[in-house]
Structure 1
Amino acid sequence: MIRAENLQKTVPMGGRELEILKGINLEIKSGETVAVVGASGSGKSTLLGLLAGLDEPSTGRVVIGGTDLSALDEDGRAAFRAENVGFVFQSFQLLPALTALENVMLPLELKGQQDALSQAEHFLQRVELAQRLDHYPRQLSGGEQQRVAIARAFAARPEILFADEPTGNLDSRTGEHIIELLFQLNQEHGTTLVLVTHDLKLAERCQRRLQLEAGELVVT
């Protein structure tokens, strides 16, 4: 379960503090599928980063499965994410010096998985990139890079998958295929899905929607 308590995030802006999130309280059950929706600038991506432990709140805390992320230092949060969390970034975050296959294998190798190669190949095939295994990110389109990032997140079989606009760079057919994969992962492994999206089809597939308006949670 994910629990956020009084999450606030402020950043300095022109000599004052800009409040991005304003006292967010929420709970997400294990295995639940949740869409985070709202207008651009409402704080969706900031909330996702805080829930995943990629950033620290100005006040408040995030507790995942009994682990208080605020009690961990940066290395501790990184170790926790490696074991429990997958993240699909809107900007892909692929390593340019590694091929598609190597990008997907890397987190598996860091976890010491002996079948990293076969798992990486399997999930790249599932996102229809079997012919792009040896291609570097610069040789791939934006949509193909997004699919590599999604394969990387899937391959680790995380307990929780956070995704920021996972279908935003994909054509409609590929986007629908990725949506199916997301929910297959949820059903096959009980993976908790927390998705920031403007895609109405994707949001409607989720069990619940959280709507943000100007940094405040208005629907839970």
Structure 2
Amino acid sequence: MMSTDVVTAHALSQRVTTADGTLDILSQIELAVKAGETLAITGASGSGKSTLLALLAGLDQPSAGEVFLFGQRLNDLDEDARARMRAGRVGFVFQSFQLLPALSARENILLPLELAGRDDANERAAYWLDRVGLAERASHTPHQLSGGEQQRVAIARAFAADARIVFADEPTGNLDAETGARIIDMLFDLNAAAATTLILVTHDAALASRCQRSLRLVAGRIAG
């Protein structure tokens, strides 16, 4: 693996057992993503996009093959060790926002910073709330925020710990077109400013075209 590769997958496959037998979700994926690169993973619904993202981020373990993240073979780590390895280095932006409903906007950003052991957690949370234009909504809980505001909090949370890589899974999927466009502009602007690696799952060809590179999944395999 080249030293500039942040994520590498070799012969990556995912198979699940159902009542009707086995189902191959991903088959023999080969992939390398360099530091600072922006990559779109595209494909129809059910093609395996979100499954691939979860495997690359170490949120799940593959049935076969291997994933390296920051040079560490994820197959060798249990769930707790993978979580520790991600802390402070990996950010996530999900379609469903994944904010903790009992916490304020500020606390949703603050919590992962504290878990990562940041001494400047309070300052970072305040800085990033302001960076995404939500300083005045710091004390508001997710149900008091619009969908676009919730996603802005999620973006701030993803970047606040100086993440080296951000994984985004359909980040505009629950937003209207106008709000989604603003969110994507913010995501790419912040990513460019931080020179962070971005791996983005989307079914939107226009959104994928904003990435430096894209790959298309068809029935769990890389097309072309």
Percent identity at matched positions?
Answer: 61
Task: Tell me which of 184, 194, 201 is aligned to 2:206.
Answer: 201
Task: Tell me, yes or no, if the aligned pair for 2:155 and 2:187 is still in contact at 8 Å.
Answer: no
Over the residues paired in the alignment, what is the CA RMSD in angstroms?
1.6
Answer with 28-37 or 137-146: which moved more.
Answer: 137-146
Query: How far apart are residue 112 of structure 1 and its match?
Result: 2.1
Aligned counterpart, 2:101: 96
Task: Tell me, yes or no, if the aligned pair for 1:83 and 1:158 is still in contact at 8 Å.
Answer: yes
TM-score w.r.t. length of structure 1 = 0.92
Q: SS of 2:92's equivalent? A: strand
How many residue pairs get matched? Answer: 219
Answer with 198-207 or 177-186: which moved more.
Answer: 177-186
- CA change 1:17–1:43 in 2 (3 A) is same
Amino acid at match of 2:163: P
Aligned counterpart, 1:42: 47
Aligned counterpart, 2:189: 184
TM-score w.r.t. length of structure 2 = 0.91
Task: Tell me which of 130, 155, 158 is aligned to 1:153.
Answer: 158
Query: How far apart are residue 114 of structure 1 and its match?
Result: 2.5
Task: Tell me, yes or no, if the aligned pair for 1:32 and 1:193 is still in contact at 8 Å.
Answer: yes
CA deviations on 1:95-141 (whole Å, 9 max, x unpaired) are 12111110011111112223222222222223232232111122223
Q: SS of 1:180's equivalent? A: helix
CA deviations on 1:129-181 (whole Å, 9 max, x unpaired) are 22321111222233322221111111122111000011223344443333233
Query: How far apart are residue 89 of structure 1 and its match?
Result: 1.7
Distance 1:65 1:111 in 2: 17
Distance 1:42 1:123 in 2: 34
Which runs of no fewer than 5 residues in structure 2 stay unpaired? none
Task: Tell me which of 36, 54, 60 is aligned to 2:59.
Answer: 54
Aligned counterpart, 2:149: 144
CA deviations on 1:76-98 (whole Å, 9 max, x unpaired) are 10011113211112222211211
Distance 2:121 2:186 in 1: 20
Amino acid at match of 1:157: D
Task: Tell me, yes or no, if the aligned pair for 2:88 and 2:113 is still in contact at 8 Å.
Answer: no
- CA change 1:169–1:129 in 2 (3 A) is farther
Distance 1:185 1:72 in 2: 31
Amino acid at match of 1:199: D
